[in-house]
Amino acid sequence: MLLRPLLHGQGVTSCRLVRAYGVLTSQRRILQAQCCEQMSLAKVDEARYGEQLSAKADKLREKFADFSLPELEVFDSQTEHYRMRTEFRVWHEGPDLYYIMFQKPAGDSSKAHERVRVDQFPVGSKLINELMGKLMEEVKEHPAVLKEKLYQVNFHTTVSGQAMVTMIYHRKLGAEWIAAAQKLRKVLGACPSSSQPSVHIVGRSRKQKVELEAAHVIETFTVDGRQLTYKQVEGAFSQPNGGMCEKMLAWAKRMTRGSSEHDLLELYCGNGNFTIALAPNFRKVVATELSKASVAAAEFNLEANDVTNVSVARLSAEDFTAAWRGKKDSRRAEGLNLKEHDLRTILVDPPRAGCDEQTNELLRDFENIVYISCNPDTLHANLQRMKETHKIRGFALFDQFPYTEHIECGVYLQQRQ
Ligand SMILES: C[S@@+](CC[C@H](N)C(=O)[O-])C[C@H]1O[C@@H](n2cnc3c(N)ncnc32)[C@H](O)[C@@H]1O
């Protein structure tokens, strides 16, 4: 049994098997999938993957039926081992402990979340699965130092085989913990899918962060035959489905080909994921992002990939828009020398809530718009404003989150003549 829901209450005295989910294979009953940092559990049935993806495509076409649409391009995912990162709470039960996640009971969304035991996690990368077991064995071997008050474990892996594990405690971490965690790094590095001799471990407790040896991983994606490297930082956003991310980058690059006479504005740029892949398509690029850690990662990534035509600034989309409209002074926006640019294409990849009202209005100023969205509802609402002025030229479904309801998609719009 891989995953078991546990009684939600004090202590855990009884576990029951999850037959109710009706999953076909005995090994894959319930899996976790995470959408935009939001945890949920999903049924996995590889045999029905194609059918589920077709249903998502139909839903998306229907949702956008009020637009004149080109053919929808549908990009399928690996059906297992596609998630590069995940978070588990740790449940202590007497001398035992194991990973848990939370999910709503099937068929009744009004009920409280229930705990689900997770011993293996087939939607997670192979490396996550290897690390999960090894880490738990080691923690049990060293109850006083690694196990005591361990509250949560986050795994972040890459297609390139790197890994970072964050262990969160309800107690201060001292020299003894550091020594034990250093040994654990090597044990985890010996996992067959690891490309590092020892993985990075970050220890956290209240007001304390211990980095062994770093709080990031280096991902490698291949886009258009070009190898791109990305520093992905602990706690900052990175696309969860690595294989799908490569497909998204290739699609956006294809959509914006032939733009080398003018410049790109990108909002919500994260660690420079799209920025670095698309920069060769443009003369110059201006990219902005709210998170300080992501901006620092983006700067690192530009240098690591020898990208020299991009300026990055830490600015919220709201502040950038206000500065663009001349409604607010911003030293950071001034530093971007916007007047020296010929910004005709805009790329946005906002959180689930979509673009705020002003930023949404700003999109209309641009000849070309690339909008990447993890929420078709907010995308559809945001695009209403563009109906009269722009036409959808490219439309894609990226199946970032197989076996869940979640849909990631991209649209490419061009101004009407
Ligand atoms: C869906 S992620 C996309 C990041 C990046 N494009 C990528 O592919 O990795 C959304 C990003 O928007 C940033 N963000 C959230 N709210 C923002 C805001 N109001 N202004 C600018 N960036 C924001 C987040 O920090 C996150 O990096």
**In this structure, are 126 and 87 located in the same domain?**
yes
- Spell out the alpha helix ranges (H) of 12-81: 49-63
Annotation-wise, does 239 bind a ligand?
Answer: yes
**Quick one: 373 exposed, middle or buried, by C-beta within 10 A (0-12, 13-18, 19+)?**
buried
**Domain assignment present for 68:** no
Q: How confident is the model at residue 41 (pLDDT cuts 50, 70, 90)?
A: low
% of the chain surpassing 90 pLDDT = 82
Say what percent of the chain tops pLDDT 70: 90
pLDDT at 195: 97
Residue 273 CB less than 6 A away from ligand 1:
yes
Closest-CA residue, ligand 1 atom 6, reads: 269
Ligand 1 in contact with 351 (CB < 6 A)? yes
Cβ–ligand 1 contact at 275 (below 6 Å): no
Ligand 1 atom closest to 248 (CA): 8
Query: Do residue 286 and residue 352 come from a single domain?
Result: yes
213 and 243 fall within a common domain: no
Ligand 1 near 125 CB (within 6 A): no
Same domain, 151 and 256: no
Residue 249 contacts residue 269 (beta carbons within 8 Å):
no
pLDDT at site 113 = 84
Pair (267, 381) in one structural domain: yes
**What average pLDDT score do residues 337-343 get?**
93
Domain that holds residue 9: 3-35+83-217
Least confident of 32-46, 167-181, 196-210, 289-303: 32-46
C-beta atoms surrounding 2 within 10 Å: 17
**Count of CB atoms within 10 A of residue 38's CB?**
10
User: Is residue 342 in some structural domain?
Assistant: yes
**pLDDT value, residue 329:** 87
Pair 388, 307 in one domain: yes
Q: What is the mean pLDDT of residues 202-230?
A: 97
Is the ipTM here above 0.85? yes
Residue 225 inside a domain? The answer is no
pLDDT surpassing 50 at residue 202: yes
Same domain, yes or no: 99 and 187? yes
Number of domains comprising the chain: 2
Whole-number pLDDT of residue 42:
57
Has residue 16 got a pLDDT over 70? no
CB-based contact 203:212 (threshold 8 Å):
yes
Q: Is residue 62 part of a domain?
A: no
pLDDT at 18: 27
- Please indicate, yes or no, if residue 45 is contained in any of the structural domains: no
**pLDDT exceeds cutoff 50 at 33:** no
Q: Which of 217, 250, 284 is the last residue of a domain?
A: 217
Q: Are 395 and 407 in contact (CB under 8 A)?
A: no
Same domain, 258 and 182: no
Q: Under a CB-based contact definition with an 8 Å cutoff, are residues 372 and 397 in contact?
A: no
Query: For residues 4 and 159, which has the higher predicted lDDT (pLDDT)?
Result: 159
Instruction: Provide the pLDDT confidence category of residue 34 given band limits of 50, 70 and 90.
Output: very low
**Ligand 1 pocket test, candidate residues 248, 268, 398, most atoms within 8 A of CB:** 268
- Residue 184 and residue 273 in one domain: no
Give the domain-ending residue among 183, 217, 251.
217
94 backbone φψ class: left, alpha, beta (φ>0; ψ -120 to 50): left
pLDDT tens for 376-410 read 999 999 999 999 999 999 999 999 999 999 999 99
The model's pLDDT over 254-286, given as tens digits with 9 standing for 90+, comes to 999 999 999 999 999 999 999 999 999 999 999
Per-residue confidence (pLDDT) for residue 20, from 0 to 100: 24
Nearest to 118 by CA among 130, 96, 101: 101
Instruction: Name which residue sits closest to atom 26 of ligand 1, judged by CA.
Output: 270
Six-digit token string for 304: 């690591």
Higher pLDDT, 43 or 167: 167
For the entire predicted model, the pTM comes to: 0.90
pLDDT of 45 reads 86
DSSP 201-259: EEEEETTEEEEES-SEEEEEEEETTEEEEEEEETTS---SBHHHHHHHHHHHHHHTTT-
The domain that contains 314 carries what CATH number? 3.40.50.150
Last residue of a domain, one of 164, 188, 217: 217
pLDDT at 26 over 70: no
